[in-house]
A and B are shown apart, each in its own frame.
Chain A
Amino acid sequence: MKKVKVFITLKESVLDPQGQAVMQSLHNMNYKNVQDVRIGKYIELQMEDSADVAGQVDTICDKLLANTVIENYRYEIEEEVHS
């Protein structure tokens, strides 16, 4: 089994109103050194081993998990260790 950790972030050219609101709150809490806040998504997939897990994850991200008009994604594939 593989554990896939997918990180989805808004493209730099896209304004993030949520991030701006959170940054304002941090400034109100006196964390004046916070320069920017960007909010993204973190998704975990558990996948059975197959020949091309990375290729599948690319397709899954392009088709469904991310909207590449506004978002970028990256992922990490780890060996699932059963305890």
Chain B
Amino acid sequence: MKTAVIVFPGSNCDQDMYYAIKDGLGEEVDYVWHAETSLDGYDAIMIPGGFSYGDYLRSGAIARFAGIMPAVIKAAQEGKPVLGVCNGFQILLEAGLLPGAMLKNKHLKFICETVNLQVKNNGTQFTTRYNQNEVIRIPIAHGEGNYFCDDATLKELQDNNRIVFTYSGENPNGSRADIAGIINAAGNVLGMMPHPERAADALLGSDDGLRLFQSILNHWRESTHAAYTS
């Protein structure tokens, strides 16, 4: 599996993402600069956290129009796995690949801590290595992770099992329905505020995040194997 980690000016979790895939998964991975225009040849696309373009105007608003974004949207439409973490999630929202928007955290503080997350849907290609309703330990680090959507969107997310992760216990940022991560209708674009790449090795305090990347790899292997044998 060949993975692209998109790098914007102001990305700061790109190296964590790179090493989670290179060393954690042992798979091929490249940095792809935001000014590039093609993602052909990549099997999976990662949009890392950080403060793209200084978070000017709104988090993710300017990155959404970067040169690489049409290629990200194309990859998503082709069914390739696209993972947006933290600022990456905000960019996916701004790009319209996922519904809703981010507000400032309820208590206005930038929160940097490891939280309990509940896996609400282990049937996605990102979560098969988790047990349904399992509680995992993953760090968060954001000032605008207060997920907002209207009632109709929330109902659609709930009815179609598209809420993948929720905060377990105290909700740190005030997000609607304790949402920490959601997936698109097709099931190949996941956005989440917590950082699985920062929990990809026991040395970092938790390796619960590594299973998310293992799930993607597993799904990719199965789907390419199916393509060879069919």
Q: Do A and B bind each other?
A: yes
A70 within 8 A of B: yes
Interface segment among A15-23, A50-58, A75-83: the answer is: A15-23
Grouping DSSP codes into helix (H, G, I), strand (E, B) and loop, the B interface class, with mixed when no group exceeds half, is: loop
Interface size class of A (residues with CB under 8 A): 10 to 19
Q: Which residue of A lies closest to B104 (CB)?
A: A17
A29 within 8 A of B: no
**Is there a chain B Cβ closer than 8 Å to A35's Cβ?**
no
Minimum Cβ distance to chain A for residue B155 (Å): 15
Residues from chain A with Cβ under 8 Å of B104 in the complex: 17-18
Known: A13-B150, A17-B106, A17-B108. Is A70-B57 also a contact (CB below 8 A)?
Answer: no
Please give, as numbers and ranges, the residues of chain A lying within 8 Å of B150 by CB-CB distance: 13, 69
Interface 1/0 per residue, A37-77 and B, CB below 8 Å: 00000000000000000000000000011010110000000
- For the complex, is B46 an interface residue (Cβ under 8 Å from A)? no
B108 to A67, Cβ gap below 8 A?
A: no
B105 lies within 8 A of A17 (CB)? yes
Select from chain B the residue with minimum beta-carbon distance to A66: B58
Q: Of the candidates B58, B105, B106, which one forms a contact with A67 in the assembled complex, judged by CB atoms under 8 Å apart?
A: B58
0/1 string, B66-82, CB within 8 A of A gives 1: 00000000000000000
CB of A14 closer than 8 Å to a CB of B: yes
Of all chain A residues, the one with the shortest Cβ separation from B100 is: A69
In the complex with contacts A17-B108, A64-B65, A69-B103 CB distance below 8 A: no
A14: B residues at CB distance < 8 A? 103, 148
Q: How far is the CA of A45 from the CA of B172 in the complex (A)?
A: 37
User: For chain B residues 14-38, which have a beta carbon within 8 Å of chain A?
Assistant: none
A64-B65, A69-B149 known; A17+B107 contact, CB < 8 A: yes
Give complex CA distance A18, B105 in Å: 9
Which residue of A has the minimal Cβ distance to B146? Answer: A17
The reply to whether the CB of B208 lies closer than 8 angstroms to some CB of chain A is: no
Chain B: minimal CB distance from A69 (Å): 4
Tell me the chain B residues, 43-74 only, with Cβ under 8 Å from chain A: 57-58, 61-62, 65
Q: What residues of B have a CB within 8 angstroms of the CB of A64 in the complex?
A: 57, 61-62, 65
**Residues of A participating in the B interface, judged by any CB pair closer than 8 Å:** 13-15, 17-18, 21, 64-65, 67, 69-70
27 A/B residue pairs, CB under 8 Å, sorted by A? A13-B150, A14-B103, A14-B148, A15-B103, A15-B106, A15-B174, A17-B103, A17-B104, A17-B105, A17-B106, A17-B107, A17-B108, A17-B174, A18-B108, A64-B61, A64-B62, A65-B57, A67-B58, A67-B61, A67-B94, A67-B101, A69-B93, A69-B99, A69-B148, A69-B149, A70-B101, A70-B103
